[in-house]
Structure 1
Amino acid sequence: MNKFYFLSNNNDINDVVFLIFQCSFIPKFAISIQTRYEDNNGTTENCLGMTPEELEQREVDFLDIAYDEIKPHHYKEAEDPKFFKSQKTGRGPLVEGWRETHQPIMCCYKAVSVKFEVWGLQTKVEEYVQGAIREILLLGHRQAFAWMDDWFNMTIEDVREYEREMQAKTNIKLKSTIESVEGSNEDKNSDSSKPQTPKSPKTPKSTTSTPTAEGRSWFNWS
């Protein structure tokens, strides 16, 4: 399954990236993402140089970082481009139709290909992964815009240092999560041999919580 994403952003960056993700224990599963940034609002027909066959197969999807909906548990008002205004640059908030009128503007072109060559599961898995990637791209570019005052005027050395810092924090978080899951499994195995005491019903949680700007969390796939 191949999809082509257009993500316009109110920034000015120019770069090309090609990534391939594979899993050693699922050899028939692979994700490839090709990226190019251009100073326009998504008007380049074939900026990634696709072949005629690839162009025929691609499905084009324009992502609007301000007005496309995201899942409620990912929403934070402080990261909503419809409300954010940069103190350093004066950019924002993004009003309806901003892609046609706002300057400066950048478009992030992405060609995302997902392959899961397992009979009976291929279509469902590929569609699920494409949906998850779309959500990640949309949320990530919303955050990139809303966090503008944090990265504006950063040097390449600053960026590399930030990458190293976030890599270390991510590794710590992953290690903590794995240890927590393993500990939980051990507790369950231990408790399974003990007599079970009936549990009191839990009080339902409110679903009307108000989004806040506190914390910048890692992406949750759920």
Structure 2
Amino acid sequence: MVEEEAWNAYPYTKTRYTCPFVEKFYLEIETYYFPDNGHQDNVFKLSSSDLRNRIVDVIDVVKDQLHGADYVKEEDPLYYVSEKSGRGPLTQNWLEEYWEEVKGKQQPLPNGKALMCAYKLCKVEFRYWGMQTKIERFIHDTG
């Protein structure tokens, strides 16, 4: 059994997962939403030590494609065009192109373009002697 607590104060949210049977464990995800391309370096105001130890993983819906049986060409952002909005397909450099177009402007633009980045900070703690480092690293690597 996993318990979830969530706080939503947009543009900031925080979600914490705990397990009553594993008292010294939690997984916490903080999120900030900004109308930008992900260029901000320290939205969570981390200490210099935490900044050095963090891993930044930029997710790009065009460049981070599915492979094999999970890939569906009709859902590929390089080919997909929305019937409702007419937007799409995206280009390989869509993120930079969108940012240049929307930077400093009220979004969405009259043409419907908008850009938002969800900055996520994931923390995990597993305070059991002899297993803490290995379990925390495993969760970070697979999460």
Cα deviation, residue 64, structure 1:
1.3
* Aligned twin of 2:4: none
Aligned partners of 2:65 and 2:132: how far apart in 1? Answer: 27
Q: Does 1:127 align with 2:123?
A: no
* Aligned twin of 1:35: 31
Counterpart mapping for 1:27-176 below 5 A: 27-70=23-66, 72=68, 74-102=70-98, 103-133=113-143
Aligned partners of 1:72 and 1:129: how far apart in 2? Answer: 25
How large is the Cα RMSD of the aligned pairs? 2.4
Change beyond 3 A, Cα 1:30–1:60? same
- SS of the counterpart of 1:127? helix
Aligned partners of 2:141 and 2:66: how far apart in 1? Answer: 11
- SS of the counterpart of 2:58? strand
Please state which structure has a larger fraction of its residues in strand: 2
Change beyond 3 A, Cα 1:79–1:22? farther
- Partner letter of residue 100 of structure 1? E
In structure 1, runs of 5+ residues without a counterpart are 1-13, 134-222
What is the TM-score when the length of structure 2 is the normalising length? 0.68
Cα deviations by residue, 1:98-129 (Å, 9 ceiling, x for unpaired): 11002421111001111223344334433332
What is the TM-score when the length of structure 1 is the normalising length? 0.47
Please state which structure has a larger fraction of its residues in helix: 1
Aligned partners of 2:137 and 2:96: how far apart in 1? Answer: 30
Cα deviation, residue 78, structure 1:
4.0
- The aligned length equals 120
